[in-house]
Structure 1
Amino acid sequence: MRQIKMWPIIVLLLLLTPDSNDSLRLTEVRIPNHIVRDSPARLECHYDLDGEALYSVKWYKDGNEFYRYVPRNMPPAHVFVLPGISID
């Protein structure tokens, strides 16, 4: 019975959600499921900008940003010091 009462709220939220065609579309994110401690891991983020300019790409671990790429900045890449993370 409670699920039936939720339908109007769900429909309202869907109607108020901006069109997803106006935003970045992630096509693939590759992160290894398991790695041996202290071994390197390669993280990949593939996206489709649909003709728009890239604003930024950011990577987080446990809620803390460890890498930021902003094409307009000089230099465009910035690495934040975070224990257990090293960036090449």
Structure 2
Amino acid sequence: MVVSDGVMGKGDVQGKGDQSITCIRLVSLNVPARVKKGSEVQLSCLYDLGNASLYSLKWFYRNHKNPEEQEFFRYTPRGKPVKCITCIRLVSLNVPARVKKGSEVQLSCLYDLGNASLYSLKWFYRNHKNPEEQEFFRYTPRGKPVKQVFPLEGINVDFYKSEGGTVFITETNGMTSGNYKCEISVEGTFQTVFAEKLMTVDVILLQ
């Protein structure tokens, strides 16, 4: 992921009267040029208000697909707390810790998007032999197609039963064991949250 000057911080000040001229300046905008996927990123905006008082500080985002900038964070020290314009959270990730070989498994990802709209929900898999995570299911409610399955060894997705945040995996085997991650993105800001859990398939050897 590349983070560029498309992320902008804007500040508004409230002056102390029409007779005074308030000189304000944005001292520095700290946005890393490149970051790794899945990492946490700190953005900071340092400013000098002179003799003025801060009215609001807003963060905006845009990219080549969405050139119209959109606000995603607002700080108003004297206003009602509106810190998160689009507050999304992953409520629960249901992945069984242990399952029997050959059984059907249901994975589910429950989320709260606040006032946002879902852009995509993706499921990823990785194990000790393949540490690089690979996508095996995608749900995009406004996309064509709405849902997609990407074949992986050991991951047999029931296409017809799987929908939204729920995925059914059949004929589990030793290759099905691994880490499962659910990743959710919303429209507009493309804010993303994810969670990951380990599932182990018990392989019973017949004597």
Give the shorter-chain TM-score range: 0.7 to 0.9
Correspondent of 1:57 among 97, 114, 121: 121
Q: How big is the shift at 1:75?
A: 1.9
Which structure is larger by alpha-carbon Rg, 1 or 2? 2
* Identity in percent: 37
TM-score, reference length from structure 1:
0.73
Unpaired runs of 5+ in structure 1?
A: 1-12
Q: How big is the shift at 1:59?
A: 0.4
Q: How big is the shift at 1:23?
A: 4.2
**1:11-66 deviations in whole A, cap 9, x for unaligned?**
xx8774x8683342011110000011221110000000102110110001100100
Give the aligned residue type for 1:27.
V
TM-score, reference length from structure 2:
0.33
Report the equivalent of 1:77: 147
Give the aligned residue type for 1:48.
D
49-58 vs 22-31, greater mean Cα deviation = 22-31
The answer to which structure has the higher strand fraction is 2
Correspondent of 2:93 among 12, 18, 29: 29
Unpaired runs of 5+ in structure 2?
A: 1-40, 45-71, 74-82, 127-132, 159-207
1:31-50 mapped onto 2 (5 Å cutoff): 31-50=95-114
The answer to which structure has the higher helix fraction is 1
The whole-number CA distance in structure 2 between the counterparts of 1:76 and 1:67 is 11
The whole-number CA distance in structure 1 between the counterparts of 2:97 and 2:157 is 19
Q: Aligned residue pairs: how many? A: 75
> RMSD value over aligned CA atoms?
2.2
The whole-number CA distance in structure 2 between the counterparts of 1:78 and 1:15 is 34
SS of equivalent residue, structure 1 residue 43? strand
